[in-house]
């Protein structure tokens, strides 16, 4: 029996200390028969660093929140096969249920295989789909038909049927065609694409090869965010390995199909997630969207037929070819087929990557899988689709995850960001946060988006600063519809969504800010008012010592008071009072 220890080294694992754990294990295992390896991200980010012990291919123990000092006992356990010494590190059944409730297709190999070894990927079935297509002579039309049957839709946000785009690019005249992967994951709060590239780059490459074969492209380009250095490094390594193994290059596996790969690092612009802006950026220009039509399938990169799909979309493709379109379509709802990956973050107890079949409810994802809200607070809303999406309140937690059902709430499926907010989150301030983002990221081409988002941002800023005026809500609504109608691309058309959806479900919070100059969540500092309750104050002087501006006065063992003129509302007194005597309004 061979014993193998695998350390999860995705970006978040490394940030949590996985490299130090790996180094400590390496020295602890010296001279032993136990092998040590790297895997990507399993998606249980709150438990990082994670160390798995395999006996042959069986997972014998999953150890969590491992520290470098644990390396000795882990090495002893792996060498002896007696795991009693590491029981305290073992994952609990409750935490394990985070994974057992999921259905993993796009993430099937993440955290299991070694992302830097093509052999590891092949042992998990990597490159079997493209081999089948090329060796058994499956036609591009049959590939497209299989994807059509599967019902796979674009996972980057828009949800457009993948087969339709592939078919349109295939039908376009010309020999020079391009296949592009959009890995410019800019939605703040989404990281599934990074995890797939860092953990299983060969599945992405295989999906892209199949796409290139289907549309007739000889060149494939991956446009990756420059903020993802590890993903770029692992993908470059994987491309090199795939080329050496004969999966990339001329006459792949002796067939007539040739395809070259390259990586283009983005330079930081959210709008480049829009496909025509991405193409402009690939051409070395400012990333400003083009007018459609013509669509990229007709005139894309260098005005040649091009097809662009997102990382997660490609990660599903080889599974669909291997298992059949019907198997994929058997999962999900009438309108939305297969699975979707979500990045569950915010005030959630178990944050990480969740892949579930379409048709589950938000409640199941947030409470059953995610374990509910951290610190016993109440759930307030979940933001889906980031700055292009909207928030969904507690009353709609039983909404089914499906493109149409989510759109009906005013949110969108988006690329899969799911940021959970609790009672301490101010929704007006959240709307402002998103508008700060879109106003900054607007490329400036369309007047409505460039100036409209700026004006929306200004109005929201004055509301959270307690300077809101009567009529501001109506003005926000009017501006929102103007920006929606007047923008060329998805960024502008969806930029008002966070404002509209918070207005729809949390209008009372806007009104409280504007008319009562009050922030119900107690987060907008300009609207806060700290006071000391004289009956509860013991005169311990702690608050006066902590106050950075000396606004608190009082004698020892006598009730203290706050000089409101001097108070900068930092909240130090509130946070430090041991008697609950400081109140905030």
**Per-residue contact flags (x/-) with other proteins for residues 405 to 424, judged by CB under 8 A:** ------------x-x-x---
CA 477 – CA 455 distance, rounded (Å)? 12
Crossing angle for the helix pair 447-464 and 427-441, to the nearest 10 degrees: 150
For residue 226, state whether it binds other proteins (rule: CB under 8 A).
yes
Tell me which residue of 576, 463, 554 sits closest to 511, measured CA to CA. Answer: 463
Query: Of residues 5, 6, 16, 369, which one binds other proteins by CB under 8 A?
Result: 16
Nearest distance from C-beta of residue 15 to other proteins, angstroms: 4
For residue 304, state whether it binds other proteins (rule: CB under 8 A).
no
Using the minimum distance from each CB to other proteins, give the nearer residue, 469 or 545.
545
Residue 428 and residue 460 in contact, taking contact as beta carbons nearer than 8 Å = yes
Query: Of residues 116, 187, 312, 402, which one binds other proteins by CB under 8 A?
Result: 187
Nearest distance from C-beta of residue 454 to other proteins, angstroms: 17
CA 419 – CA 344 distance, rounded (Å)? 6
* Residues 366-405 close enough to bind other proteins by CB under 8 A: 383, 386
Nearest distance from C-beta of residue 296 to other proteins, angstroms: 15
- Applying CB under 8 A, what is the total number of residues that bind other proteins? 54
Residue 278 and residue 264 in contact, taking contact as beta carbons nearer than 8 Å = no
Nearest distance from C-beta of residue 443 to other proteins, angstroms: 8
Tell me which residue of 415, 210, 242, 219 sits closest to 319, measured CA to CA. Answer: 210
Tell me which residue of 530, 547, 541, 531 sits closest to 578, measured CA to CA. Answer: 541
Query: Of residues 24, 36, 40, 48, which one binds other proteins by CB under 8 A?
Result: 48
Token digits for 11? Answer: 């970006």
Token digits for 277? Answer: 């802006």
**Per-residue contact flags (x/-) with other proteins for residues 453 to 482, judged by CB under 8 A:** ------------------------------
Tell me which residue of 316, 299, 409 sits closest to 362, measured CA to CA. Answer: 409
Token digits for 458? Answer: 């200004």
Query: Of residues 3, 22, 36, 46, which one binds other proteins by CB under 8 A?
Result: 46
Query: Of residues 116, 185, 472, 509, which one binds other proteins by CB under 8 A?
Result: 185
* Residues 240-279 close enough to bind other proteins by CB under 8 A: 264-270
Using the minimum distance from each CB to other proteins, give the nearer residue, 153 or 204.
204
Angstrom distances, CA of residue 20 to CA of 7, 13, 311, 570: 10, 10, 30, 37
Residue 218 main-chain phi, psi, to 5 deg: -105, -5
Q: What stretch of H or E contains 168?
A: helix 162-171
Angstrom distances, CA of residue 555 to CA of 123, 448, 537, 546, 564: 74, 58, 11, 15, 18
Nearest 10 degrees: CA dihedral of 37, 42, 43, 47? -70
Neighbours of 218 (CB within 10 A): 15
Using the minimum distance from each CB to other proteins, give the nearer residue, 250 or 440.
440
Nearest distance from C-beta of residue 268 to other proteins, angstroms: 4
CA 120 – CA 114 distance, rounded (Å)? 6
Using the minimum distance from each CB to other proteins, give the nearer residue, 286 or 545.
286
Nearest distance from C-beta of residue 279 to other proteins, angstroms: 10
Nearest distance from C-beta of residue 290 to other proteins, angstroms: 15
For residue 584, state whether it binds other proteins (rule: CB under 8 A).
no
Using the minimum distance from each CB to other proteins, give the nearer residue, 289 or 554.
289
For residue 433, state whether it binds other proteins (rule: CB under 8 A).
yes
Interface residue list for other proteins (CB under 8 A) = 11-12, 14-16, 45-46, 48, 185-191, 194, 225-229, 264-270, 281-287, 302, 343, 345-347, 351-352, 383, 386, 417, 419, 421, 425, 430, 433-434, 437, 441, 443
């Amino acid at each position: 029996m061979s014993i193998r220890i695998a350390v999860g080294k995705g970006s978040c694992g490394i940030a949590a200390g996985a490299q130090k754990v790996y180094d400590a294990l390496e020295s602890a295992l010296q001279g032993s028969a136990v092998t040590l390896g790297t895997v990507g991200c399993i998606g249980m980010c709150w438990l990082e660093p994670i160390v798995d012990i395999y006996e042959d291919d069986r997972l014998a123990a999953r150890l969590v929140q491992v520290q470098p000092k644990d390396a000795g006992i882990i090495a002893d356990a792996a060498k002896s096969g007696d795991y009693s010494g590491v029981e305290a590190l073992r994952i609990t059944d409750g935490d394990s249920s985070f994974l057992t409730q999921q259905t993993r297709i796009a993430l099937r190999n993440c955290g299991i295989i070694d992302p830097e070894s093509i052999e590891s990927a092949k042992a998990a079935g990597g490159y079997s789909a493209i081999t089948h297509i090329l060796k058994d002579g499956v036609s591009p039309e049959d590939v497209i038909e299989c994807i059509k049957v599967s019902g796979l839709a674009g996972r980057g946000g828009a949800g457009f049927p993948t087969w339709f785009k592939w078919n349109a690019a295939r039908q376009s005249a010309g020999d020079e065609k391009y296949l592009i992967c959009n890995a410019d994951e800019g939605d703040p709060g989404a990281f599934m694409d990074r995890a797939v590239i860092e953990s299983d780059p060969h599945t992405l490459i295989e999906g892209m090869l199949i796409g290139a074969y289907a549309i007739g492209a000889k060149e494939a380009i991956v446009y990756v965010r420059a903020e993802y250095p590890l993903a770029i490094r692992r993908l470059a390594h994987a491309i090199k390995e795939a080329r050496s193994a004969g999966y990339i290059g001329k006459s792949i596996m002796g067939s007539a199909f040739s395809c070259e790969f390259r990586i283009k690092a983005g330079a930081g612009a959210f709008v480049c997630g829009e496909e025509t802006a991405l193409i402009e950026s690939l051409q070395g220009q400012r990333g400003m969207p083009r007018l459609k039509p013509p669509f990229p399938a007709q005139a894309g990169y260098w005005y040649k037929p091009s097809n662009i799909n997102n990382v997660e979309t490609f990660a599903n493709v080889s599974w669909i070819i291997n298992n059949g379109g019907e198997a994929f379509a058997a999962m999900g709802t009438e309108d939305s087929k297969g699975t979707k990956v979500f990045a569950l973050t915010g005030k959630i107890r178990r944050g990480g990557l969740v892949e579930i079949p379409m048709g589950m409810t938000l409640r199941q994802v947030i409470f059953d899988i995610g374990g509910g809200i951290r610190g016993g607070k109440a759930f307030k809303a979940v933001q889906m689709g980031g700055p292009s999406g909207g928030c969904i309140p507690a009353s709609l937690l039983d909404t089914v995850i499906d493109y149409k059902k989510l759109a009906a709430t005013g949110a969108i499926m988006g690329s899969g960001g799911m940021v959970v907010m609790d009672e301490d989150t101010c929704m007006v301030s959240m709307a402002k946060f998103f508008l700060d983002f879109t106003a900054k990221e607007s490329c400036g081409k369309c007047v409505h988006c460039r100036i409209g988002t700026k004006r929306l941002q200004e109005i929201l800023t004055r509301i959270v600063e307690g300077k809101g005026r009567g009529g501001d809500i109506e003005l926000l609504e009017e501006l929102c519809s103007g920006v929606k109608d007047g923008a060329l691309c998805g960024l502008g058309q969806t930029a008002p969504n966070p404002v509209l959806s918070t207005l729809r479900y949390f209008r009372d919070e806007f009104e409280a800010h504007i008319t009562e100059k009050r922030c119900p969540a107690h987060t907008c500092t300009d609207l806060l008012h700290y006071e000391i309750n004289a009956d509860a104050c013991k005169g311990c002087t702690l608050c006066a010592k902590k106050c950075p501006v000396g606004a608190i006065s009082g004698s020892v063992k006598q009730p203290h008071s706050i000089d409101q003129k001097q108070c900068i509302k930092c909240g130090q007194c509130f946070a430090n009072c041991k008697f609950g005597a400081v109140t905030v309004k």
